[in-house]
Amino acid sequence: MAKTLTEIRSLARSHTRTALNVLVGIMRSKDATPAARVSATNAVLDRGWGKAPQAIENGDGQLELVHRIERVIVHPENFPTAKAFEPLLQPGRYKAAFGGRGSGKSHFFGELLVETCQAERGTLAVCIREAQRTLAQSSKRLIESKITALGIGSGFKLFADKIETPGDGIIIFRGMQDHTADSIKSLEGFRIAWVDEAQSLSARSLALLRPTIRAEGSELWASWNPRRKTDAIDDFLRARKPPGAIVVHANWRDNPWF
């Protein structure tokens, strides 16, 4: 029973970012009713500062103040999503963020991947770079730090070359240069493919990847620092922008924690 409660708690915590975004959205919305805005505001304040002292009646009919002091130290990564990335929280076949360094693109996708694997058990995900000679050149260390920051490490198993996720899911790390038309078939059935430093992704690699990640509800994510308009990822997601693509531009000014 204790294990079940722990799993439920971990699952609930994995939705912290989304829940706070919803509350803040209601709080700021001019279309929401005053009662809804006040309720959302109180929920946000309670989450950050703990509940205010509450008065209860004792046996003599007198009121006593009951103080519940709670100090919550929240990791910066658990703050609500930067506004520039909010569109990427919606479902989409292609999700992409481009811009200069310091915008938090990789951190956003790393945390989104961990939250998705926690919430959607059995998710198969692959993190891709064009060239990846060693795991030190992959996104593995970043993802491991997000698992720790979210406090959900009990549901993930870290190995030297992979991360097992809740419900027999997995996150693996691959370099596209090492794949052929035959070997890439091993990724069929994967639901999420995240290409970091996608400015280096070749047209050949993109052509191999797109038809391979085609499971129902599958998504291709990309984050990159633009170099040339002729780069494969720029041409595909910015110049041509296929149907179902959500593409955002972000730089260090969009990062409230920079």
| 130/205 same-domain check | yes
- Confirm whether 144 is domain-assigned: yes
Q: How far apart are CA 72 and CA 151, in angstroms?
A: 13
Residues 137 and 190 in one domain: yes
Residue 15: per-residue pLDDT: 67
Answer whether residue 39 is part of any domain.
Answer: yes
- Predicted confidence at residue 27, as pLDDT, reads 80
Which DSSP string corresponds to the chain? Answer: -HHHHHHHHHHHHHTHHHHHHHHHHHHH-SSS-HHHHHHHHHHHHHHHH-PPPEEEE-TTS-EEEE---------GGGSPPPGGGGGGGS--SEEEEE--TTS-HHHHHHHHHHHHHHHSTT-EEEEEES--SSGGGSSHHHHHHHHHHHT-GGG-EE-SSEEEETTTEEEEEEEGGG--TTGGGGGTT-SEEEEESGGG--HHHHHHHHHHS-STT-EEEEEE----TTSHHHIIIIII--TTEEEEE--GGG-TT-
Average pLDDT value for residue range 211-233: 94
Q: Which of 45, 66, 87 is the last residue of a domain?
A: 66
What are the residues facing 173 on neighbouring strands?
127
What is the structure's pLDDT at 56?
Answer: 47
Alpha-carbon distance of 46 to 41, in angstroms, equals 9
Q: Is residue 26 part of a domain?
A: yes
- Residues 137, 236: one domain? yes
Tell me, yes or no, whether 113 lies in a domain: yes
Residues 133-158 have pLDDT tens digits of: 777 767 899 999 999 988 888 899 99
Q: Supply the mean pLDDT for the chain.
A: 81
Shared domain for 158 and 56, answered yes or no, is no
Whether the pLDDT of residue 74 is over 70: the answer is no
Residue range of the domain that includes 23: 2-66
Asked if 208 contacts 183 with a C-beta cutoff of 8 angstroms, the reply is: no
Residues 160 and 37 in one domain: no
Tell me: do 18 and 95 sit in the same domain.
no
Of 66, 85, 107, the domain-final residue? 66
Q: Are residues 152 and 249 in the same domain?
A: yes
Report the percentage of the chain scoring pLDDT > 70. Answer: 78
Closest CA to 39 of 21, 23, 53: 23
Q: Residue 123 above 70 pLDDT?
A: yes
Same domain, 44 and 11: yes
- Say yes or no: 33 and 85 in one domain: no
**At which of 42, 66, 90 does a domain end?**
66
- Does residue 71 form part of some domain? no
What's the CA gap between 119 and 32, in Å, rounded? 28
User: Are 166 and 51 within one domain?
Assistant: no
Structure confidence at residue 77 as a pLDDT band (50, 70, 90): very low
d(CA 150, CA 247): 26
Residue 170 covered by a domain: yes
Is the same domain home to 103 and 62?
no
Give residues with Cβ within 8 angstroms of 105, minimum separation 6: 97, 98, 99, 223, 224, 250
| Ramachandran region, residue 241 (left: φ > 0; alpha: ψ -120 to 50; beta: rest) | left
* Statement to judge: residues 57 and 82 lie in one domain: no
Q: Is residue 174 part of a domain?
A: yes
For residue 242, give the CATH number of its domain.
3.40.50.300
Q: pLDDT, tens digit, for every residue of 162-190? A: 999 999 999 999 989 878 888 898 899 99
Confidence of residue 93 (pLDDT cuts 50, 70, 90): very high
pLDDT at 197 over 60: yes
Query: With 0-12 CB in 10 A as exposed, 13-18 as middle and 19+ as buried, what is 18?
Result: middle
Structural domains in the chain (count): 2
- pLDDT for the residue numbered 105: 93
